[in-house]
Copies of this chain bind each other. A is one copy, B any other.
Amino acid sequence: MELKSPAMFIGVHGNGVISFGSGQPDLPPPEEVGSIIPQSKAFKYGLIQGNDNLRGELSKQEQFRGTDKDNFVITNGASEAIDLVLRTLAHGKVLLHKPYYYSYPPVVKAAGLEPVFTETVNGKIDIDDFDKKVRDCKAVLINSPSNPTGRIQDVKTLKEIEKLTTDLGIVLISDEVYKDLIYERENYMLSGPHVVTVNSFSKTFAMCGLRVGYLYSNDKSIVNNVIELKTHTSMNTNILAQDMAYQALKAPKSYVEKQHKIWLERRDFIYEGLLKLGLELWKPEGAFYVFPKVKNPKKTVIDLFKKHKVITYLGEWFGDKERIRLSYALDKAEIEEGLKRIGEYLKS
């Protein structure tokens, strides 16, 4: 069994498998989303930039208050948003903090750019190392809370990153798809003249399969370049899914709050559970991942899958050879069963 990439596990379920793999909420999307019924409009091309009403509603969200809907682009998930922004940058280096989301290095390279890395300490950016590495970069990609570490960056660090990138005129891409899943404090939204905020309906509203994400930037030239490129590479994002995303934004605040409580419980449950199994790991501060150290990670991932029907992701895919990633986006009973199987594996 070759552990080539997470693609091998995405969409694999059923048949007694417990998947700590893919980071998708098992919780239902807001009820409001179900009210959408396909209408003829959904079958027509829409604006490449995205539906007017959805962008309008986004610009009214608390974090975006006072922004203009023309500064948003709706995309096929956060993945496409990041891919499009990177592709508009042409040549140069992009700074990533390590461990990173597994798609970052491949998309950076696929865009003709070169990934460079700043190491983190317990998942936290070392601003001195960051400062050294950032100077000849074209862009920086920040992901707080982080997939796979579940760690958040300190507000102080984020402000220093804002200042540095602003002074240097560097594009700062902030992947904030887990912004509503922080257990320790409010999200701090990075801002600045060349900041691109990337977000998604997948995690907050449990709508992964519908693939609706978006980007926002004050830098109108980035926005326009993205629209121009998207005209040729995928055209509008699925109209029906955009209508559903619009409805999701109308869900009461209690929807997000309720989910938040569930995530927190699960976080505590899996964190304590893995500690009890004797594994070394960081306490997640956001998102829904734990990233424990294990002996022989490759063998662990293969054996857990083949012998115990448990899917985990190899740390190496995220730039860390000593760990494996577990998503806890599944219900407590499944987490419990999964932990039991992991315990059996570790004993054997």
User: A residues touching B (Cβ–Cβ < 8 Å)?
Assistant: 5-7, 10-11, 22, 24, 28-29, 33-34, 36-38, 40-48, 76-77, 79-80, 83, 87, 102-103, 106-107, 110, 112, 206-211, 227-229, 231-241, 244
Contacts and interface: CB of A to CB of B under 8 A. Distances in A.
Contacts of A110: 87, 229, 232-233
A11 B41 CA distance: 11
A76 B76 contact: yes
Contacts of A239: 209-210
A238 B241 contact: yes
A80 B28 CA distance: 29
28 contacts: A5-B231, A10-B231, A11-B45, A11-B47, A11-B48, A11-B236, A22-B45, A28-B43, A33-B38, A37-B37, A38-B244, A41-B209, A44-B209, A45-B209, A46-B209, A76-B235, A79-B233, A83-B232, A83-B234, A103-B231, A106-B228, A110-B229, A209-B238, A210-B240, A211-B234, A211-B235, A211-B236, A211-B237
A28 to B, nearest CB: 7
Number of copies: 2
B232 A103 contact: yes
Nearest to A6: B231
Nearest to A229: B110
Contacts of A209: 41-46, 236, 238-240
A38 B40 contact: no
A11 to B, nearest CB: 4
A237 B79 CA distance: 12
Contacts of A107: 232-233
B237 A43 contact: no
A41 to B, nearest CB: 7
Given A10-B236, A29-B43, A43-B206, 6 more contacts: A11-B46, A44-B208, A76-B76, A80-B234, A103-B233, A112-B112
Given A24-B44, A45-B24, A206-B43, A77 B234 contact: yes
A5 B79 CA distance: 25
Nearest to A23: B45
B10 A28 contact: no
In the complex, the 7 A-B pairs of residues with the closest C-beta atoms, listed nearest first: A103-B232, A209-B239, A11-B47, A7-B231, A238-B238, A83-B233, A76-B234
